[in-house]
Structure 1
Amino acid sequence: MAIYHLSVEVISRAKGQRAIASAAYRSGSRLHDARIDRDQHFSNKSGIVHSEVMLPEHAPEAWRDREQLWNEVEAREIRKDAQLAREVEFAISQEMNQQQGITLARDFVVAEFVEAGMTADLILHWDISARTAWRNPTPMSYSPCAA
Structure 2
Amino acid sequence: MAIYHLSAKIISRGKGQSATASAAYRAAEKIRDERTGLIFDYRRKGEVYATEIIAPDNAPDWVNSRETLWNQVELFERRKNSQLAREFDMALPLELTHHQKQELVRKFVKAEFISRGLAADLAFHNFDSHNPHVHIMVTTRTVD
What residue number does 1:20 align with?
20
Structure 1 residues without counterparts, runs of 5 or longer: 129-133
Does 2:79 match 1:63? no
Structure 2 residues without counterparts, runs of 5 or longer: none
Tell me which stretches of 4 or more aligned residues in structure 1 moved more than 3 Å. none
Does 2:40 match 1:45? no
Q: Does structure 2 retain, via aligned residues, the 8 Å contact 1:84–1:146?
A: no
After TM superposition, the structure 1 stretch with the greater mean CA deviation from structure 2, 97-106 or 113-122, is 97-106
* Cα distance per residue 1:27-85 (max 9 Å; x no partner): 00001111111210001111111111111122111110000000000000000000000
What residue number does 1:32 align with?
32
What SS is found at the alignment partner of 1:135? coil
Q: Does structure 2 retain, via aligned residues, the 8 Å contact 1:31–1:40?
A: yes
Instruction: Report deviation, 1:120.
Output: 0.5
Instruction: Report deviation, 1:2.
Output: 4.7
What residue number does 2:136 align with?
141
Distance 2:58 2:19 in 1: 22
After TM superposition, the structure 1 stretch with the greater mean CA deviation from structure 2, 48-57 or 63-72, is 48-57
Q: Does structure 2 retain, via aligned residues, the 8 Å contact 1:50–1:102?
A: no
Does 2:80 match 1:80? yes
> Structure 1 residues 57, 127: closer, same or farther in 2, change over 3 A?
closer
What residue number does 1:6 align with?
6
| Count of residues paired in the alignment | 142
1:80-119 correspondence runs (5 A):
80-119=80-119
Instruction: Report deviation, 1:3.
Output: 3.4
TM score, norm. by length of structure 2: 0.92
Instruction: Report deviation, 1:116.
Output: 2.0
Distance 2:2 2:130 in 1: 13
The one-letter code of the counterpart of 1:39 is I
Q: Does structure 1 retain, via aligned residues, the 8 Å contact 2:118–2:141?
A: no
The one-letter code of the counterpart of 2:45 is K
**Cα RMSD between the aligned structures?**
1.4
Q: Does structure 1 retain, via aligned residues, the 8 Å contact 2:30–2:39?
A: yes
What SS is found at the alignment partner of 1:25? helix
